[in-house]
């Protein structure tokens, strides 16, 4: 075979698989929003083939979607070669009709011909399969070669949540991963859960002079999603914030009830300095709700993205006394309980970092006037059905749902547990902070405030 074809014998594929250009068309249909089954039908493939392509490639194409350049023979040209060869045309005649060099045709007929029975028999489908197989240039993934880099990535993805003093927090017990997306309305594993983009850019900060400690976020995603890569354990996809086992488009909508807000505390009345994030001390807040009327308060500083979680324990008598219409809220996030909790939390921050608070329109902040008197912080409310006006807080709540999924009881977590999760979130580098962590950014702000105070005193 080596003498006939000029290359080592190749194992017969049996029936040649679908061509790469068909799969390329399949992924273009996926980009349009079609399901894998519908996209396969649209390009003339079976539904099973579409599902297999989507699953094996982790929901994303791992090759260029642009059409192959004219430098290479196409499948249509190979069909023409097969037809002309069957009619007895010579190499130069075939080359002339296709507009190719005779050497290209000669090499194609020799190297990509079928070799069953010890003879060279040219078939377009077999030739296409051989050409695509030899065109592959697989190389060892960087995370496979570099053990130190792989350990760094895995630690940032799946490292253990710890309290500020370093004590590990186990979090909830979770079911074994079954290769599917995150469980719906069930507990998820607690981990450091840095995003691939955060890991990729933080490497430049932690290993500024070590060029071997570099990897793109796309390479990390492919190591997690694509079955053939194998550099990272597939179970680590459970540590991604989305918890998706495959890349798929996702959309969600959220509606909130109207509140008791008066015109003078609408977001339109908020000072202009809040919008540009130049001055620290402006916060956004909301609740994340769990089952059995449980909740956790969230506060995010707009400039540094520093996050604080507010523990809202049950009030005395909850679950024992019958619920009374318009009676006291015993679940832990009534107006009075919320005011007390926010007052205690804000008291931990210096006065310069207590300028304003923008909240959703929930009734839990009905006592905002009293809160302003107690803490000196001005309270404003977003417009109805306008979560983008508190985008920083909405994004943070999405991050926190990895630790506190919908459909779970949030009242079981202690204040120390909430502090551990907040420490984890504040220890993740953020793109908007030039890959500093929120904790580092807040420390810089506090240092500048102290220095400004000393200079004024002097």
User: For 259-296, how does the pLDDT look when each residue is reduced to its tens digit (9 = 90+)?
Assistant: 457 777 888 888 888 888 888 899 999 999 998 888 99
User: For 129-154, how does the pLDDT look when each residue is reduced to its tens digit (9 = 90+)?
Assistant: 788 777 766 677 888 888 999 999 99
**Dist. CA 64–CA 454, nearest whole Å:** 58
Please provide the size of the chain in residues: 458
**Dist. CA 83–CA 1, nearest whole Å:** 24
User: For 12-64, how does the pLDDT look when each residue is reduced to its tens digit (9 = 90+)?
Assistant: 555 555 567 788 888 888 877 788 888 889 888 888 888 888 877 777 776 65
pLDDT classification of 83: cutoffs 50, 70, 90 = very high
**Dist. CA 404–CA 17, nearest whole Å:** 45
Closest CA to 55 of 74, 72, 33, 35: 35
Higher pLDDT: 164 or 19? It is: 164
**Dist. CA 312–CA 293, nearest whole Å:** 11
User: For 337-359, how does the pLDDT look when each residue is reduced to its tens digit (9 = 90+)?
Assistant: 888 899 999 988 888 889 999 99
Look over the chain and give the mean of its residue pLDDT values, rounded to a whole number. Answer: 82
Q: Is 153 within 8 Å of 232 (Cβ atoms)?
A: yes
Q: What are the structure tokens assigned to 351, written together?
A: 């006065």
pTM here? 0.60
**Dist. CA 68–CA 47, nearest whole Å:** 25
| pLDDT for 254 | 34
Q: What are the structure tokens assigned to 319, written together?
A: 């679950």
Higher pLDDT: 128 or 61? It is: 128
DSSP string, 252-314: -----------GGGBGGGS-GGGTTT-SS-EEEEEEEE-STT-EEEEEEETTT--EEEE--PP
| DSSP letter, residue 162 | B
């Amino acid at each position: 075979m080596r003498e006939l074809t000029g290359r080592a014998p190749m194992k017969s594929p049996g029936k040649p698989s679908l061509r790469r250009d068909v799969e390329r068309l399949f992924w273009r249909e996926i980009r349009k929003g079609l399901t894998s089954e519908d996209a396969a039908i649209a390009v003339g493939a079976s539904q099973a083939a579409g599902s297999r392509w989507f699953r094996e490639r982790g929901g994303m194409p791992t090759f260029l979607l642009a059409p192959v350049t004219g430098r290479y023979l196409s499948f249509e040209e190979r069909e023409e070669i097969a037809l002309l060869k069957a009619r007895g045309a010579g190499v130069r005649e075939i080359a002339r009709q296709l507009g190719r060099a005779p050497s290209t045709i000669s090499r194609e007929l020799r190297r990509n011909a079928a070799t069953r029975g010890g003879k060279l028999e040219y078939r377009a489908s077999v030739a296409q399969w051989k050409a695509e197989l030899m065109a592959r240039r697989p190389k060892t993934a960087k995370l496979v070669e570099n053990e130190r880099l792989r350990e760094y990535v895995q630690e940032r993805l799946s490292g253990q949540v710890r309290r500020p003093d370093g004590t590990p927090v186990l979090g909830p017990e979770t079911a074994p991963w079954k290769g599917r997306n995150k469980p719906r309305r069930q507990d998820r594993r607690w981990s450091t859960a840095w995003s691939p983009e955060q890991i990729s850019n933080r490497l430049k900060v932690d290993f500024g002079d070590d060029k071997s400690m570099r990897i793109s976020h796309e390479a990390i995603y492919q190591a997690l999603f694509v079955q053939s890569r194998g550099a990272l354990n597939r179970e680590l996809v459970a540590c991604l914030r989305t918890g998706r086992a495959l890349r798929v488009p996702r959309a969600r909508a959220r509606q909130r009830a109207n509140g008791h807000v008066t015109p003078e505390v609408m977001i339109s009345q908020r000072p202009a300095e809040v919008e540009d994030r130049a001055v620290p001390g402006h916060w956004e807040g909301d609740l994340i709700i769990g089952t059995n009327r449980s909740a956790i308060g969230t506060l995010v500083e707009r400039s540094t993205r520093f996050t604080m979680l507010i523990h809202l324990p049950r009030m005395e008598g909850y679950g024992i006394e019958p619920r009374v219409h318009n009676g006291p809220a015993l679940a832990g996030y009534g107006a009075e309980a919320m005011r007390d909790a926010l007052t205690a939390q804000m008291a931990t921050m210096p006065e310069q970092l207590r300028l304003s608070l923008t909240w959703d329109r929930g009734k839990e902040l009905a006592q905002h006037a009293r809160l302003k008197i107690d803490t000196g912080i001005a309270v404003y409310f977003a417009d109805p059905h306008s979560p983008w006006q508190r985008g920083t807080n909405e994004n943070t709540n999405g991050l926190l749902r990895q630790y506190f999924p919908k459909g779970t009881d949030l009242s079981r977590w202690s204040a120390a547990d909430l502090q551990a999760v907040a420490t984890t979130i504040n220890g993740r580098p953020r793109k908007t902070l030039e890959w500093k962590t929120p904790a580092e950014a807040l420390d810089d702000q506090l240092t500048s405030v102290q220095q400004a105070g000393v200079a004024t005193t002097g």
